[in-house]
Structure 1
């Protein structure tokens, strides 16, 4: 029978031996190495009389020498990358071969460059702890000829601890690698996951990393230099606060106008959400929260022209308007354009490099967690089983001391004391299965 190869896929961007980003063709191989590797893969298939689609894996050293690792007798997660550069449907050809049809040709040309990343429900800031829970909001890129989205979940679905937490695969194609990277940046900017944590911000930093852009990364690089790729938690800038507030204010005004149109007095001036009051300057108070910090903004104006006061800052917003998923505005005279949307619960903006999601909170309401000390509980980070308990009520603990160990998704998770103190309560027993965010151990009040 006949055997052909469809080119290579570069999979060196890995974390703990799990692929994070895949692409074709490899930026590391030259034409001669590519030909030798393809011939070696075909020889391996013929040597075992292989009849199916399969993936031959090689490891390549610094001087270009390659060595056989294994044959995966199946399609792999990243097979869409090959489909994008060859134009073939590999699943279709598996069925055709099984039905006895001949292969398409002795060789299949490759066109352009394709890249895939895997969008997971996981928390990069907590050592990539797999996420779980209901997906409250899911925005993915619109499928286009050069942008493909493979996903098995939709908004409202539950990410379970019993299965792989992949949300989607994003695959893009460009005329060259630079264009493909740019398309991937746009595709990731169009993603938003609310509910379980996700790695979307990590992926955005990954594709912008200088070593990745140069195509010079080895299989151990991410594990050795993970801090270079992890998102850096930063408070929102004044400009981002102004843009976020503008999106929220415009959404409120639009909603008020829609409600007025449905009322018995659609033209009533009392239906306008501009904060107007008799004898006083109009203003609205807007409450936002980000990473546990509250921001109370005093907002004057309406219809896209605002003066926003926050702490010692005063920002002027002019000509703010939302068109589709985009907000354009001038902030202190500087023209800005960002992806944006808002609802009653949150506001989201993305400036092309940084993403910001802020929760909407009542400006005068502080929840229990915001007025009381919250460093006295050890919470279950995800659903799982408690397998080790190292403390009992009355024990003294130090900050960072391991107090328990959970098992979840085939991993052991070390749970540590948030501060020094005395254990007041132990609410679980070894062997007990617990839900996420349940308080397992409580310390006495400081």
Structure 2
């Protein structure tokens, strides 16, 4: 395996630079290019450039990419192929005035979508006419930055929809199949968090109709290779074509899990002219699979704020499929998506698969940056999710329950305080803890640890009997199986409150990771903060950057009177656009930033008088 340097982190100078990619492929002696998930994977021009250079583009024909990439064209093709579509406008008149007029005719709420978009970029919901202009401008700007084109289409927004997509495959011999459907409804910011296959609570008749519709869609454009036909499904089970992704999807592993296939292998076989490995009647549907996207982001109070920085420690369970490109010591960059890994599991049914995902996430350890793991585990435990009642607004509709402040259980304080205490004890040369036999008659060693602001006392009544106290409460516990299991790592077993559990501890240079009943990290230097939705506050009397990024637009000037929530600055970070709003009614004193310039996290962007 070889790696070639293709340029700096800025995508336009590296991953989106066709000349560099093609020249690198030729220099390496490669015969084909697999475009992956993003960047040039759905670029018809790149597919044509590959062919001109004598390279096989592992994907569909350029014309299929072009037809399906233009949402207005793809909708017409789907209508002609008798695939259900949502009422909307996808015409040539792209003026703001016309789009607003069409939105009024369709009826609010409407979805504004980039014609050449994907991955949740360039997409906004306008709930009423009053917010249409701002939402359209924001969607256009994000689409322009992400895809180089700001053409939009307008669709009637289906309330409480499910995002259901079908994996399809075609070959050069006119064969088409589907590999069943996936439900990707649990999303934040229109981006998927949890994907599963097959879709829960779906009638078999509907499942068959979905698959047949997706195959008609693929055949209508002479599709070759792996593709995904995305549908929205209303509460009655009616479904409508949304778009076709002319590439392999990030969530393809769940389809592989339920069908026993390797879709990348299928791609390679089809690209070299072979027929599809299986006929439709030969493709099984076995069990249930989940995929969780693990992101570096702060989910506090539903902010879902991406974070960048060093991952000081990363460890995943061995009994789940882990797709990742990072190891301990790597950094999450501001230039790309903050996804750290995908955790994929399979079970004989949905409940078993969900339990496996919960177990895998509980044993995933990541230090250095906040992640969404705890939040996903909360979603998995929600009764509506367990019942399969998922839809795209699942997170906002259940916000209060998913982000409720809960009291920390005693077991967390017990295991954390014991972990701190044991970490302070010296280890022998063999790596095993020295004997804890310091208990003597009339002498019970006591240690006080600061856990989440509380003084927690650990008293050794004997080698294995403990009394742990905090806030006037005392708990008797049994400590057993204290053992070093690796470099700077140890484990132990606790029994208290009628419960017995194991805890594993990683002693890092600046942090202590404790994974047992909970997943906690202590004594981490304050390298990131939580931010409210206004990205500022009255106390600071300023609006600040919630993360490192690039200033795109400045919407106000010195002397302007602004109201609470008014848009002040537009910035981009990690391929997403963020609007910085006024935290209070005030007067602008000074603009502290410039369009096109990078700003660090917490930089003051606007100072108020």
Same structural fold, with TM-score higher than 0.5 when normalized by the shorter chain: yes
- After the TM superposition, which residues 234-249 of structure 1 pair with which residues of structure 2 at under 5 Å, given as runs? 234=406, 236-249=408-421
Does residue 349 (structure 1) correspond to residue 520 (structure 2)? The answer is no
Structure 2 residue runs of 5 or longer lacking an equivalent are 1-173, 530-538
C-alpha distance 390-220 of structure 1, shift in aligned 2 (>3 A) = same
Structure 1 residue runs of 5 or longer lacking an equivalent are 363-368, 370-374
Does residue 258 (structure 1) correspond to residue 425 (structure 2)? The answer is no
Q: The residue matched to 2:495 in structure 1 has which SS?
A: strand
Query: Residue in 2 aligned with 1:372?
Result: none
Does residue 312 (structure 1) correspond to residue 440 (structure 2)? The answer is no
Distance 2:410 2:219 in 1: 63
Post-superposition offset of 1:278? 13
Q: CA RMSD in A?
A: 4.1
Distance 2:498 2:294 in 1: 34
Q: The residue matched to 2:358 in structure 1 has which SS?
A: helix
Query: Residue in 2 aligned with 1:114?
Result: 289
Q: Deviations over 1:184-213 (max 9, x none)?
A: 110111123222221111111112222211
Distance 1:321 1:390 in 2: 63
Query: Residue in 1 aligned with 2:127?
Result: none
Post-superposition offset of 1:390? 7.5
Q: The residue matched to 1:285 in structure 2 has which SS?
A: strand
**Contact 2:436/2:463 (8 A) holds in 1:** no
Q: The residue matched to 2:180 in structure 1 has which SS?
A: coil
Q: Deviations over 1:235-258 (max 9, x none)?
A: 5333321221112223333xx132
Post-superposition offset of 1:428? 4.3
Does residue 359 (structure 1) correspond to residue 519 (structure 2)? The answer is no
Query: Which of 193, 212, 234 is matched with 1:20 structurally?
Result: 193
Query: Which of 207, 226, 243 is matched with 2:399 structurally?
Result: 226
Q: Deviations over 1:61-116 (max 9, x none)?
A: 23322222222111111101111111111111111011111112222112111111
**Contact 1:391/1:403 (8 A) holds in 2:** no
Post-superposition offset of 1:279? 10
**Contact 1:349/1:357 (8 A) holds in 2:** yes
Q: The residue matched to 2:340 in structure 1 has which SS?
A: strand
**Contact 2:289/2:345 (8 A) holds in 1:** yes
**Contact 2:288/2:349 (8 A) holds in 1:** yes
- After the TM superposition, which residues 137-156 of structure 1 pair with which residues of structure 2 at under 5 Å, given as runs? 137-142=313-318, 144=319, 147-156=320-329
Post-superposition offset of 1:28? 2.8
Distance 2:591 2:233 in 1: 52
Query: Residue in 2 aligned with 1:407?
Result: 571
Post-superposition offset of 1:26? 1.4
Does residue 287 (structure 1) correspond to residue 450 (structure 2)? The answer is yes
C-alpha distance 319-197 of structure 1, shift in aligned 2 (>3 A) = closer
C-alpha distance 336-443 of structure 1, shift in aligned 2 (>3 A) = farther
Query: Residue in 1 aligned with 2:306?
Result: 130
**Contact 1:24/1:113 (8 A) holds in 2:** yes
Structure 1 stretch 400-409 or stretch 159-168: which is displaced more?
A: 400-409
Distance 1:217 1:100 in 2: 40
C-alpha distance 322-282 of structure 1, shift in aligned 2 (>3 A) = closer
Query: Residue in 2 aligned with 1:433?
Result: 598
**Contact 1:80/1:171 (8 A) holds in 2:** yes
Distance 1:71 1:412 in 2: 27
Distance 2:343 2:260 in 1: 17
Post-superposition offset of 1:21? 1.5
Query: Residue in 2 aligned with 1:76?
Result: 249
Q: Deviations over 1:157-178 (max 9, x none)?
A: 1111110111111111001111
Q: Deviations over 1:403-437 (max 9, x none)?
A: 964613232243666x99999x9894444532224
Distance 1:377 1:281 in 2: 53
- After the TM superposition, which residues 149-168 of structure 1 pair with which residues of structure 2 at under 5 Å, given as runs? 149-168=322-341
Distance 2:187 2:297 in 1: 15
Does residue 300 (structure 1) correspond to residue 459 (structure 2)? The answer is yes
Q: The residue matched to 1:93 in structure 2 has which SS?
A: helix
**Contact 2:593/2:606 (8 A) holds in 1:** no
Distance 1:361 1:121 in 2: 16
Query: Residue in 2 aligned with 1:29?
Result: 202
Q: The residue matched to 1:7 in structure 2 has which SS?
A: strand
**Contact 1:389/1:430 (8 A) holds in 2:** no
C-alpha distance 389-310 of structure 1, shift in aligned 2 (>3 A) = farther
Distance 2:239 2:587 in 1: 57
**Contact 2:459/2:467 (8 A) holds in 1:** yes
Higher RCO by CA contacts (8 Å cutoff, separation 6 or greater):
1
Q: State the aligned residue count.
A: 410
C-alpha distance 30-241 of structure 1, shift in aligned 2 (>3 A) = same
